[in-house]
């Protein structure tokens, strides 16, 4: 029913492994990456180095947006739905746009959502939703000033979530988890940052 309302359709076929697509979708208003071009180059290199396609979809606020003459804007559902439907893995920061993972194929046809989180902010909303849909959820985490995992948090401090930050893959587990996901066949259903250090493929790798 959701596909019909959006004027689209569910995927008819499963894409073979060589056509796996990693899609990056960032935000302008939440966890904005101050060094976005550099981060995109590094993430693209990880994906394409493993033979996986990489698409930079820009910011979620601009996806499907049409500016209106009076200064307002409207949003089309179809571009958002099709981006998530056709992706093998979506890399994104925490935000309401992640609800579109409802349209992702189930695991193992899709690896699911690789969610970038900031120190001091916690939500399990999208891991719960991913389990309900049957697709994967993988949580990357910003490291603290000592290069260690942030202390576990139960806070939904939106000042933390909305703060711009540098996406430095040397101080974040995002790159490590992406390497792991694109190299494993099939990708795991769920992973988190525990024990994974930037630049290492596996917590026990020397």
pLDDT tens-digit profile of 153-165? 666 666 667 788 8
**pLDDT of res. 196:** 41
Residue 138 clears pLDDT 70, i.e. is over it: yes
Return the sign of the alpha-carbon dihedral for residues 199, 175, 129, 11: negative
202 to each of 100, 193, 199, how far by Cα in Å?
29, 11, 9
Residue 10 clears pLDDT 70, i.e. is over it: no
**pLDDT of res. 40:** 97
Mean pLDDT to the nearest integer, 114-130: 86
Mean pLDDT to the nearest integer, 88-113: 92
H or E segment and range at residue 175: helix 174-183
Residue 15 clears pLDDT 60, i.e. is over it: no
Question: Dihedrals φ, ψ of 168, to 5°?
Answer: -100, 110
Low-confidence winner among 4-8, 49-53, 62-66, 201-205 (lowest mean pLDDT): 201-205
Which residues contact residue 121 at a Cβ distance below 8 angstroms, ignoring those fewer than 6 apart? Answer: 94, 153, 155, 156, 157, 158, 160, 161
Residue 119 clears pLDDT 80, i.e. is over it: no
Mean pLDDT to the nearest integer, 140-162: 68
Residue with tokens 């099709």: 82
Angle at 129 (CA atoms; ends 113, 79), nearest 5 degrees: 55
125 to each of 29, 37, 94, 115, 119, how far by Cα in Å?
19, 29, 10, 11, 17
**pLDDT of res. 163:** 80
Q: Count the helix, strand and coil residues of the chain and give each as a percent rounded to the nearest 5.
A: 35, 20, 45
């Amino acid at each position: 029913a959701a596909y019909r309302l959006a004027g689209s359709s569910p995927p008819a076929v499963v894409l073979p492994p060589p056509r796996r697509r990693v899609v990056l979708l960032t935000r302008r208003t939440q966890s904005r990456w101050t060094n976005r071009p550099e981060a995109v180059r590094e993430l693209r290199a990880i994906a394409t180095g493993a033979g996986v396609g990489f698409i930079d979809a820009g910011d979620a606020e601009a996806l499907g947006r049409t500016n209106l003459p009076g200064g307002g804007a409207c949003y089309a559902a179809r571009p958002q739905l099709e981006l998530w439907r056709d992706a093998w893995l979506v890399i994104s920061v925490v935000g309401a746009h992640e609800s579109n993972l409802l349209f992702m194929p189930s695991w193992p046809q899709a690896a699911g959502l690789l969610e970038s989180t900031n120190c001091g902010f916690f939500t399990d909303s999208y891991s719960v939703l991913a389990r309900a849909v049957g697709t994967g959820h993988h949580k990357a985490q910003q490291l603290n000033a000592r290069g260690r995992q942030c202390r576990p948090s139960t806070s939904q401090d939106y000042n933390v979530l909305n703060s711009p930050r540098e996406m430095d893959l040397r101080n974040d587990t995002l790159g490590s988890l992406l390497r792991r996901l694109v190299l494993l066949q099939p990708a795991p259903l769920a992973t988190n940052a525990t024990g994974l250090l930037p630049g290492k493929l596996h917590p026990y790798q020397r």
